[in-house]
Amino acid sequence: MDETLTPGARRAMDRAASRARSRGAAAVEPADLLAALLDEPESRASELVAEYGMAPQDVREALGAARLDEDAIEAAGYGLLDEPAVDSPRSSAIRAVVGEATARARADGRKASVGTEHLLAGLVAEAAFVLEPLRDAGLDLDGLRDALIRDEAEVEPLPPLEGPPLDLSDSTRTVDLARVLDASANRAREGLRVVEDYARFVLDDPGLTRRLKEARHRLADALRGFDPDLLLAARDTREDVGTHIMTHSEQVRENPRAVLAANFKRTGEALRSLEEYGKLVDVWLAGRFEVLRYDVYTLEKLMMTAVHAYRSLADCRLMVLVGGLPTLGDVTWIVGEALAGGADVIQLREKGLPDRELLTRAREVRILTAQAKARFILNDRPDLARLSGADGVHLGQDDVTVRDARRIVGPNLVIGVSTHERAQLDAAIVSGAGYLGVGPVFPSATKDFAEPELAGLAYVRTVAETTNLPWFAIGGVDATNVDRVLEAGASRIAVSAAVVKADRPRAAAAALRAALDAAADGR
């Protein structure tokens, strides 16, 4: 480790590593660090979070952290680390967080020590997606961000301004204002473009790209409210003192995700500047920047959720839904066969089992999937998904909403949503779904659908053209028709009967896997 931590920050990093280990995760993630920071109520990070609306124990509860870990540790047979886990692998997100924290500590003039408040600032700056869901539970995230993420250039307090406020009848002052607006307009335009490039080229997501493009056009439209000649005439980039000031955190970007996070931040700040200084020109116009700023916050949340989902499901292609089996032994056997055949996601879909029995089965599937490095999704039940340490939960149109489920499962679990038509697809994406079920493609032996309810291959084609969020074609898919599903644009499928009711489940899964892999190689 190259950064120097205060004892409190070091304890937090060690606890984060223990939490990651107890989840069976390969690397420490931002949510591990957040929960670990709040384990000590006396830490500066805990005090700050309490100051901005949430008691640390409420945050942990909202994250599902403390109980989840204890249950997962117990269920998976892991022990908490006795030794400090300072050398545990860190995800790229955590590295960005610690890099930012180190830069913040330096800016505070405390070269020798990164404190818990700097780690919290790093999380707010580089991994805001773990804190976003806490807004619903009462966290004033904007206040916390304002308190922690001051511009480093601002650390040296400026002397108070003397003299009268901006006088727009004075032409010099008009030029000053025009310079502010021009610079902020450029920052907002550029920031949005960088973010759009991420949606377009990294996520390859047509829906998100379109929404960002629309936001860029709305910005351009609002900017027409200012006199363009005046803004251009006031531009004086060579003499702008700000162009020569580069902070450490502006120079270092660890990965494309860090570029994305920094540019959302930059765009939000520039829009705030346009809004505030715009009030001196036209209050109504200022309101348009405010609306745009909130839209950008929503897009930030959607995109960060998508990035998280891509990362957790990027390589997954074959989901097998397991359910309707008489005993735990049957479940264990089928899951083992499906995994051996190449399933990389197991969804436990049991209807009507007593909760306790369902949780026992879920915990068993969690252990089997973790051993095989596969994902585990629980159908219908966010509460039991959290208790069993699942990677995610699947919700249908009649199940609890994504918003409500998020409050139960916390920020880390992926939430999948069933969609059967275009309107549901759009709504699921906006709701923050991490992946989608797309079907029913064909009549199913597992679930009854009336003929008009079949979404068919046409819907598969629509989804393929609309989003690049991970999605699974589902409903009657088997070895006889999988090629048609793949030709329609699917690259992932979810099946039940084709594997669970097969004479040789392992071979059935392997045949589907081979078809999926062949299609992926051909693309």
Ligand X SMILES: Cc1nc(C(=O)O)sc1CCOP(=O)(O)O
The correct pick among 232, 445, 518, 520 for binding ligand X (CB under 6 A) is 445
Q: How far is CA 275 from the centre of its chain?
A: 27
Beta strand 414-419 pairing with 318-322:
unpaired
Stretch that binds Mg ion, among 353-361, 376-384, 427-435, 446-454 (CB under 5 A): 376-384
Q: Is 383 in the site for Mg ion (CB under 5 A)?
A: no
CA distance 489 to 460: 7
CB-CB neighbours of 451 under 10 Å: 6
Q: Is 324 in the site for ligand LCLJCK34 (CB under 6 A)?
A: no
Q: Is 295 in the site for ligand LCLJCK34 (CB under 6 A)?
A: no
Please state at what angle helix 505-522 crosses helix 328-341, rounded to 10 degrees: 30
Stretch that binds ligand X, among 50-58, 295-303, 436-444, 505-513 (CB under 6 A): 436-444
Contact of 78 with 14, CB cutoff 8 Å: no
Stretch that binds Mg ion, among 15-23, 322-330, 379-387, 495-503 (CB under 5 A): 379-387
Run of H or E including 338: helix 328-341
The correct pick among 380, 432, 509, 516 for binding ligand LCLJCK34 (CB under 6 A) is 380
Q: Is 381 in the site for ligand LCLJCK34 (CB under 6 A)?
A: no
How near is the Cβ of 399 to Mg ion at its closest, in Å?
Answer: 5
Closest by alpha carbon to 277, among 187, 184, 189, 188?
Answer: 184
Size of the residue set binding ligand LCLJCK34 (CB under 6 A): 15
Q: Is 394 in the site for ligand LCLJCK34 (CB under 6 A)?
A: yes
CA distance 106 to 253: 17
Residues 394-433 that bind ligand X (CB under 6 A): 418
Q: Is 505 in the site for ligand X (CB under 6 A)?
A: no
Establish whether 476 is an annotated binding residue: yes
Residue 493 bridge partners (DSSP) = 318, 473
Q: Is 106 in the site for ligand X (CB under 6 A)?
A: no
Closest by alpha carbon to 493, among 447, 454, 460?
Answer: 460
Please state at what angle helix 65-76 crosses helix 56-63, rounded to 10 degrees: 50
C-alpha distances in Å from residue 203, one per residue of 110, 196, 207, 413: 38, 10, 10, 20
Residue nearest to ligand LCLJCK34 (CB): 396
> What x-and-dash track marks residues 397-416 binding Mg ion by CB under 5 A?
--x-----------------
Q: Is 382 in the site for ligand X (CB under 6 A)?
A: no
CA distance 446 to 467: 27
Q: CA torsion sign, 355 to 356 to 361 to 364?
A: positive
The correct pick among 380, 402, 472, 508 for binding Mg ion (CB under 5 A) is 380
Choice between 187 and 420, CB closer to ligand X: 420
Q: For tokens 């699921």, name the residue.
A: 428
Cis amide bond preceding 133, omega within 30: no
Establish whether 250 is an annotated binding residue: no
The correct pick among 446, 466, 467, 468 for binding ligand X (CB under 6 A) is 446
Residue 51: CA atoms inside 13 Å, Cβ hemisphere, count?
Answer: 15
Stretch that binds ligand X, among 21-29, 278-286, 303-311, 470-478 (CB under 6 A): 470-478
Q: Which does 104 bind (CB under 5 to 8 A by kind): Mg ion, ligand X, ligand LCLJCK34, none?
A: none
The residues binding ligand X (CB under 6 A) are 321, 418, 437, 439-440, 444-447, 474-477, 495-498
- Output the known binding site: 347-351, 379-380, 399, 418, 444-447, 476
List of residues contacting Mg ion (CB under 5 A): 380, 396, 399
